Amino acid sequence: MKAFSRSLGPVCAVIGAQWGDEGKGKVIDLLSEQFDVIARACGGANAGHTIVVNGKKHVFRLLPSGCLHEKKEVVLGGGMVIHLQTLLEEIASLETAGVSILDRLFLYPNAHIVFEYHKEIDAVLEERRMGQKGEEIGTTRKGIGPAYMEKAARSGLRLECLRWSVQALKKELEERQRAVVQMYGVRIDLDRECLAFTNAKKLLESRVVANGPELLHRFLAEGKTILIEGAQATLLDLDQGTYPFVTSSSTTAAGALQGLGLPPRALTSCIGVAKAYCTRVGSGTFATEDESDSGNRLRERGGEYGSVTGRPRRCGWLYLPDLRYSAMINGFDCWNITKLDVLDTEETIPVGTGTTDDGKVRFENLPGWKTSTRGMTTFEKLPKEAQHFIEFIEKQTGISARLIGTGQGREEMIVK
C-alpha cells in the first residue's frame, strides 16, 4: 500500500462511481495511513461510511473514515452541511473507542449548519412530493436538502455562527419562525435548537478556522499530503447525476475541490470506487436492478442496508456505461472494485454492457467462480473466473482496477 500511495501524488480524491454505498470508507481508511491530512468536502449526515477494524465496526456520518488513524489532521470543508449534535456524538464515540480527534479537527467557517427544523421540513417536502407525484425522492430525512436550499437562497447559518452568543442565535431563529410556519407548517423548537447550539459552541468554536482554503494551501506549502473523501457518489450529483433523484450537493471530484477551495491543478490523482455489482437507495432509474431472488441474495450477502437509515438497498448488477460515464466526469486514474466476495456463490454473473435501440439492457453473462475469495490479498490467487471478471471491467472501461476489496476487514484488499 505504501508504494501505491506514493504513486498518487500529494492530493488524491476518492470518489464513488455509482449511487453511493460503494465502500469508499475502507479504501480511505487504508490510504489515510499514508497521507497527512484527511478532508471531507461536501454532503452531510446522510452519508455513512462503515469501517471494520479488528472485528469492531465504526460508522461515520460526518467525520472522514480516515480519522481512525492517530495524528492525522482532519478537515471538514465548506461544501458540507453539518448537524452539530451528530458531529458531537461521533466525536464522543471515537473518544469512547480510545481515539482522540478534537485537537486535530479543523472546521471551515463557511460550512452550513443543519438544524432540527431542517429535518422536519425535509419530511414535509417528501410527503408533499408523494401526494403530488406519487413518488418520493427517497431522502434520508436528515435535513440535508432544506439546509442546501437555505444556502442557495443565501440565508443559511454557517459554522462561523458558533462565535455568536446563544441569544443572538435565538433572535435569528425567532425572525425565521413565521416564514417557516407559513411555508412548511413547521414550528422551530427554539429551546431545543439553542441547547444543541450551546453544547456545540463549547466544544467546537475553537476548532473553526479563520479561513479554510488558506489552511489547506498552508498544509500543501509545508509539504503535507491530502486525501479527499468523497460523499455519496457521481450518479447522485446535483448537476451530473440522475436528476431529480439525486442529492443536494456536488459529489464529483470537481465538487470536492470546490468544497475545499482547491484549484483543479492541485488534484494529482483520483480513485473511482465501484461495487462488483450495484445498489441504490431511494427512487430513480436503475437499469440493472434485479428484484428476483438473485437481487435478494446480493442484499443479504452484501449486508445491503443503509448505515444511516437501515433501509434495504435496491440491488442489481454492474452497469458498465455508468462506470464509463463516471470515469469521464471525474477523470479516474484507477478503480477500487469492492465487495468481490459477495459474488462468490453466483453460478453466472450478469454485467450490463449497454442498451438496445428499444431501451432494453444488454447483458454479458460471465462465468462465476463458486468458491470463496474472502480475505484474498493477491490477484494471482483469485480464481481464474474472478480474474477474468476484473479484467473484463478494465477492458470495457479502459481503466486499471488497482484495488480490489475481498471482505469487510481493513486487511482484506488486493493491491495490484
For the annotated catalytic residues, the residue numbers are 21, 49
User: What is the phi/psi pair of residue 170, to 5°?
Assistant: -60, -40
DSSP code of 305? B
Dihedral (CA of 90, 94, 96, 100) sign: negative
Residue found by looking up cell 494529482 in the block: 268
User: Residue 414 in 3-state DSSP?
Assistant: strand
d(CA 389, CA 351): 9
Q: CB within 8 A of 175, min separation 6: which ones? A: none
Write down the number of H helices and E strands in the chain.
Answer: 12, 16
Residue 405: CA count within 13 A, CB half-sphere: 28
Residue type present at position 330:
N
150 burial level (CB within 10 Å; 0-12, 13-18, 19+): buried
User: How many Å apart are CA 69 and CA 65, to the nearest integer?
Assistant: 9
Count of alpha carbons within 13 angstroms of residue 31, beta-carbon side: 32
d(CA 147, CA 158) in angstroms, rounded, equals 10
Half-sphere CA count of 37, side-chain side, radius 13 A: 27
Closest CA to 62 of 38, 79, 83, 78: 83
